[in-house]
Amino acid sequence: MSVFYPIIKKYNVHFYGLLVLFLSGLLTTTHLSAQNPNKSGPKSSFKSSLVNVEATASETFRYNTVLLNGTPEAKIYELQAQLPDGWAVTFRTMGSQVTSVNVEAGKSQEVTVELNARPDSKPSKYNILVTATSASDNLKLDLQAVLKGAYGIELTTPTGRLSDELTEDSMKEIHLIVRNTATLPLENVELSAQAPSHWEVSFEPSKIDRLDPFKTVDVKANVKVPDKTIAGDYVTTFTAKNTSAAANATFRITIKTSVLSGWIGILVILVAIGLVYYLIRKYGRR
């Protein structure tokens, strides 16, 4: 044992020295880590909870997106979209319409993207690229707008003329045309009218069960003018509508006094003149 003691003592000293150096290095590393934490965070991103929205051309495609600034400094992001011809885009944040947003470092901003299709756009799936660009970031968001089509209706006359003449206490048959001007069929289209007081309006037919795209239906509007209607111009508004579309036609109707009423009026005037003349002749000499 006395022979090996110097060797053991020698290596124990080395062992303890190495152990002390190891623990010292570990404490130093821990201390530095506490003073200089890893500052790397999430990367900048532009995301949407929904990327595929289906609607008609008369509706708005709406996407709720989140723009994250993962850089260590505030950024101003310019918002743009690559759209089909004739489409429109609106960006909104906190209820206001914007074209760019200021996002603080490490923060996110909610941005609502609203797309509106051109009314005559072909039903299809459209890919929309939306970008948020700053001095150092170019973030992209791919959206899809599935266009089902559009609802459209028109109410007019065969000649386009929206005026006519009637006499009091008479009925007029007015020919109307209801036209589907869009790509989706119209169902349960009802006809109605807003006419002067005491006037009567009825339709044949009063309801169209189905009107296919770009098709027309002939409708007769029977307008009854009551007796003793004062001569002049009157407006009647015809309406064709369902839950998806509506159209109005403002029709001007000129009421003229009937021939018989005119002759009766003249006769009354002549009788009055004759009576006055008679009274003058009879009592004027006294």
Ramachandran sector of residue 213 (left: φ over 0; alpha: ψ -120 to 50; beta: rest): beta
Distance CA 145, CA 51 (A): 8
pLDDT, position 128: 98
Intervals of CATH 2.60.40.2310 along the chain: 45-147
Token pair in block for residue 21: 């150096």
- For domain 45-147, say whether CATH 2.60.40.1120 is its number: no
Q: What is the number of other CB atoms lying within 10 angstroms of the CB of residue 240?
A: 27
pLDDT, position 80: 98
pLDDT, position 114: 98
Question: Which pLDDT tens digit goes with each residue over 75-117?
Answer: 999 999 999 999 999 999 998 999 999 999 999 999 999 999 9
pLDDT, position 167: 86
Question: Which pLDDT tens digit goes with each residue over 29-58?
Answer: 444 333 333 355 689 999 999 999 999 988
**Angle 26-31-33 from CA coordinates, rounded to 5°:** 95
Contact 197, 224 (CB under 8 A): no
Question: Which pLDDT tens digit goes with each residue over 148-188?
Answer: 988 899 999 999 999 999 888 889 999 999 999 988 899 99
Which of 53, 52, 54, 56 is CA-nearest to residue 185?
Answer: 56
Token look-up 């169209």 returns 208
Token pair in block for residue 109: 């901003």
pLDDT, position 17: 54
Max Cα distance, the chain (Å): 180
Q: What is the CATH number of domain 153-257?
A: 2.60.40.10
pLDDT, position 45: 96
pLDDT, position 150: 85
Contact 128, 83 (CB under 8 A): yes
Intervals of CATH 2.60.40.10 along the chain: 153-257
pLDDT, position 267: 73
pLDDT, position 259: 54
pTM assigned to the model:
0.58
Token look-up 């006499």 returns 167
Q: What one-character-per-residue DSSP string does 101-149 give?
A: EEE-TT-EEEEEEEEE--TTPPSEEEEEEEEEE-SS-EEEEEEEEEE--
Average pLDDT, stretch 255-263? 65
pLDDT, position 285: 54
CB burial of 155-193 (b: ≥16 within 10 Å; e: otherwise) equals: bbbeeeebeeebbbeeeeebebbbbbbbbbebeebebeb
pLDDT, position 32: 36
Strands (E), the chain: 45-48, 52-55, 60-68, 75-82, 88-93, 96-98, 100-103, 108-116, 124-133, 138-147, 153-156, 163-167, 170-180, 186-194, 200-204, 207-211, 216-225, 232-241, 246-256
Percent of the chain whose predicted confidence (pLDDT) is above 90: 64
* Residue 10 pLDDT > 90: no
Distance CA 255, CA 229 (A): 8
